[in-house]
Structure 1
Amino acid sequence: MHLLPAIDILDGKAVRLAKGDYSRVTCYSDDPVDQARRFEEAGARWVHIVDLDGARTGVSSNAAIIERIVASTSLKSQVGGGIRSLGSIERLVCAGASRVVLGTALVRDPEFAAAAVRRYGDMLAAGIDAKSGEAAVAGWGEGSGVSASDLARSMAGLGYRHMVYTDISRDGMQTGLDPEAYRSMACAFGHPVVASGGVAGMEDVRAMLGLGDAIEGVIAGRSIYEGSLDLAKACREIDRCNKERSC
């Protein structure tokens, strides 16, 4: 398992939203590139980057910042937000992104989702954001009418082998993760998932470690920025656990 500190970019700044609400924004850094460097210095190996402008409008206005983060650090980058064309994926891949997350397009353009995974394979992840079991789209602003578990099964059938699953009701709230929700989604998907939404502290990270092969990674944002999760300590504990499992 790996820990992915999150950088959500809105209007060129690193922010967090409460439950995906664009009217409830907290700005943590005017310089997302500098923030990524600080994550790297703390021991992170991955960073989760979301273009919130792109997620809402479908048109990325933060691509240059994302490219600078990739170029300025050795972090593996998982990037999502408004990626709805093969050209957008190609730009991120050429910039050095390690993984590209598709969200809204999975529901609204299944032909594109299928074509993308045929071309890019393991470079892609299905991003499924859910509220009350329903997958949300358009920057979490709209319900899709599709259950998250059914969408996960469909994406696995297309060939997706990575998934980021976000519990919108908990995201940005530091209320703690629901381990069983992620175990259930991993079962539906048939592969490990990256957990996102509500990490409050080290107990949540340990709970995800306790799910073993069901969890590929866990994303944390506000808890790191506000100090309830010590990124350096969390990375060391995860590394130690990963080494013990490999022995």
Structure 2
Amino acid sequence: MIVFPAIDLIAGKVVRLERGERSRCTVYSDDPVAQARAFAEQGATWVHVVDLSAALEEDEDACAANSAAIEAICRVDGLSVDVGGGVRSLKRIDELAGYGARRIALGTVLVTEPGFAEVAARGFGGMLVADVAARDGQVKINGWRDGISRSVESVVGELSELGFRHLVFTDISRDGMQTGVDADAYRRVAACAGFPVVASGGISTLADVRALAAAGPDVVEGCIIGRALYEGNFTLAEALEAAGQGAAQAGARSFGPSAAASGEGAGDAH
């Protein structure tokens, strides 16, 4: 199972939101590139980057700072980058692909503009990821602020028919709360999609990582871990081992808010 350490960005800073709420924001680092390098040094092969400023439609300067950070993260040796947040046009997909992103996640436009989703799927194929977030089984869009009165099963089934073969599913009620995972929820989503999903939201212990890995590669392709790493619940090396990836590189070190904030080897997000 792939471990995707997360880097959530607002105005070029590494942050975490609780339940997607902008007012409940914690800043962990002013140096997202250093954070990405730290993840790579600790054994990560992928990193999950979210442009929250774009998703929340913040001002131009905030979005520009995030774009610069994303482009720089894509140049970090040894890391493949999965990036999303506010991707609503073919032009933006082209920009992110030009930065070097390996996967690009689409969220809101998948349900508000199904015609666009179909065109994007045809043009970019396996590079695209469907990013679906839900609270109490109902899909949320626009930075998780708005509901659409549609179930997860309905949306995921439709996206699968369009040809999407990568999907991140976020349980909003658990995101950033370290309340643990609901492995059964990912089984249901994967069964509906017809392919394994990336789990996001609520991972707080190594037992959560093991539970997702135990669901099997046909259910869970990977898991996104953010706050649990930043708060020092466990190290990235431990998470990689729990996921079945083996120990991280020799000499890798754990990190917490102080290391991230100081830019020491960097690391962190989602």
Q: Normalising TM by the smaller chain, what interval?
A: over 0.9
C-alpha separation in 1, matches of 2:12 and 2:239: 28
- Select the residue among 229, 239, 253 that pairs with 1:224: 229
Q: Does 1:85 align with 2:89?
A: yes
Matched with 2:15 is 15
TM-score by length of 1: 0.95
Shift of 1:121: 0.5
Counterpart code for 1:56: L
Shift of 1:73: 3.1
- Select the residue among 67, 74, 77 that pairs with 1:63: 67
C-alpha separation in 2, matches of 1:236 and 1:211: 16
Q: Does 1:215 align with 2:191?
A: no
Shift of 1:99: 0.2
C-alpha separation in 1, matches of 2:56 and 2:140: 12
Shift of 1:240: 3.8
Q: How many residues matched?
A: 241
Give matches, 1:97-112, under 5 Å.
97-112=101-116
Tell me if structure 2 keeps the 8 A contact 1:36–1:73: no
Q: Which runs of 5+ in 1 are unaligned?
A: 242-247
C-alpha separation in 1, matches of 2:200 and 2:108: 17
Structure number with the higher helix fraction is 1
Task: Name the structure, 1 or 2, with higher relative contact order (CA <8 Å, separation 6+).
Answer: 2
Give matches, 1:78-157, under 5 Å.
78-157=82-161
Matched with 1:189 is 193
Matched with 1:3 is 3
Runs ≥4 residues deviating over 2 A: 58-61
C-alpha separation in 2, matches of 1:182 and 1:79: 21
Shift of 1:57: 1.3
| Secondary structure of the structure 1 residue equivalent to 2:147 | strand
Matched with 2:208 is 204
What are the Cα deviations for residues 4-59 of structure 1, in whole angstroms up to 9, with x where unaligned?
Answer: 00000012100000000000001111111110111111111110000001111187
Shift of 1:184: 0.4
C-alpha separation in 1, matches of 2:48 and 2:77: 13
Matched with 2:79 is 75
Q: Percent identity?
A: 49
Shift of 1:236: 3.2
C-alpha separation in 1, matches of 2:77 and 2:150: 38
Q: Which runs of 5+ in 2 are unaligned?
A: 248-270
Matched with 2:40 is 40
TM-score by length of 2: 0.87
Counterpart code for 2:191: C
Q: Does 1:239 align with 2:249?
A: no
